[in-house]
A and B are shown apart, each in its own frame.
Chain A
């Protein structure tokens, strides 16, 4: 199972749940399965520019973004970019 870990604000949006275990063949599949998919992806289905996705510590954008394949035992961590004030 792929483990997806959400940051605090998205966990609040997911009813307080921070950790999801799910079947997913790609990063995009994993993100689209989340109850906060609309906060991670925009209305075109693209990853929001300030959302960073790390697969076992590596930036998913360096591995093909949403198309990056998963073996099924990775930890996918979502992190908001440093922004705001």
Chain B
């Protein structure tokens, strides 16, 4: 068993290969030079790497590599229909489909759009139920644009999935993507005159627990939340050890639905690490309390972590991977207890994904 870490940076993609102990790593890359890699993922169904790539001059696209980065192919059919009045701005997140859904992947993009491919990334079609959602006129772009950054598939129900869009909120489909229901009850939009709205929340990251698919965690512009009923209602989890409800990244422990990890920032007006140090906060009791983990993490430090810059693997104990805007990757082989700076001096890290492979 080996672990592959995919590091999307502002200036290309790096790969890190390590063994099961997750102590020794070999760096490869950069690949996709000239492109900002907003997110990259290994599709463990066929070993293909898919990367959401953006360039200020040459636009937004998706690249894929069947051979660990040696060769790349660009998706050529990717755009929005003219009658939508929208054009593709950025690609943000690629999510492989389930086992058995051969060739299917999902792509989150700006302006608040979701695409699906059924030919392994050659061509992408916009999901009409999101593109023409009846509440779209109440969606607004966050500071990073109107990005669809979170895509979560229910492993037990092939018709159910979730997306998170800033600043539109969380949406759930129960019919395979045809129709989408806002799933934001209990999440605040404190930046609006009326914070309790149906849509318009600035969700920063959403993850579903694979062992309890009705439970999702959310890092929002306005708090950390948990739902136990598929997003019908959310509970705000702060004032119990977290120094701030503001932050972007989120990671889970695949063994324990009650565990989650966040890296809070001071606040929306000062987006740096809390208390001038890089610290991970972990809960093991569903968010009732949070503990600060710092063993091996630097202080003083003000380098924040982007929404995709945090990941966990499926080993036992899970490895946790944290990439910073200052170009470092920190790895914990023991669920966050201890950390090592595995790589430094990279371009700013935009995304981190870990995958196990044999």
Residue positions of A touching B, CB distance < 8 A? 8-10, 12-13, 36, 38-40, 42-44, 48, 50-51, 80-81, 83-84
Contacts and interface: CB of A to CB of B under 8 A. Distances in A.
A43 B58 contact: no
A12 B34 contact: yes
A83 B36 CA distance: 14
A53 to B, nearest CB: 12
Contacts of B87: 42-44
Nearest to A10: B58
19 contacts: A8-B34, A9-B33, A9-B34, A9-B55, A10-B58, A12-B33, A13-B74, A36-B58, A39-B58, A39-B59, A39-B61, A42-B59, A42-B79, A42-B88, A43-B79, A50-B56, A50-B57, A81-B57, A83-B57
Contacts of A9: 33-35, 55, 58
A38 B76 contact: yes
B56 A40 contact: no
Given A38-B76, A43-B87, A48 B58 contact: yes
Of all A-B residue pairs in the complex, the 3 with the closest CB atoms, nearest first, are: A43-B79, A80-B57, A9-B34
**From DSSP, what is the main secondary structure of chain B's interface residues?**
loop
Interface of B: 33-35, 55-59, 61, 74, 76, 78-80, 82, 87-88
A48 B87 CA distance: 12
B226 to A, nearest CB: 38
Contacts of A51: 57-58
A13 B59 CA distance: 13
Contacts of B57: 48, 50-51, 80-81, 83-84
Nearest to A50: B57
A13 B78 CA distance: 16
A71 B78 CA distance: 33
Given A8-B34, A12-B34, A38-B76, A44 B82 contact: yes
Given A9-B34, A83-B57, 7 more contacts: A9-B35, A38-B59, A39-B61, A43-B78, A43-B87, A48-B59, A84-B56
B12 to A, nearest CB: 11
Nearest to A81: B57
A9 B53 CA distance: 13
A76 B82 CA distance: 29
Contacts of A10: 58
A6 to B, nearest CB: 11
Contacts of A38: 59, 61, 74, 76, 78
A83 B54 CA distance: 13
A10 to B, nearest CB: 7
A84 B82 CA distance: 28
A13 to B, nearest CB: 6
A48 B35 CA distance: 16
Which interface residue of B58, B78, B79, B87 has the most chain A CB atoms within 10 A?
B58
Nearest to B63: A13
Nearest to B80: A43
A80 B82 contact: no
B312 to A, nearest CB: 31
B109 to A, nearest CB: 12
B70 to A, nearest CB: 13
A40 B79 contact: no
Nearest to A38: B76
A44 B74 CA distance: 19
Contacts of B34: 8-9, 12
Contacts of A39: 55, 58-59, 61, 74
A38 to B, nearest CB: 6
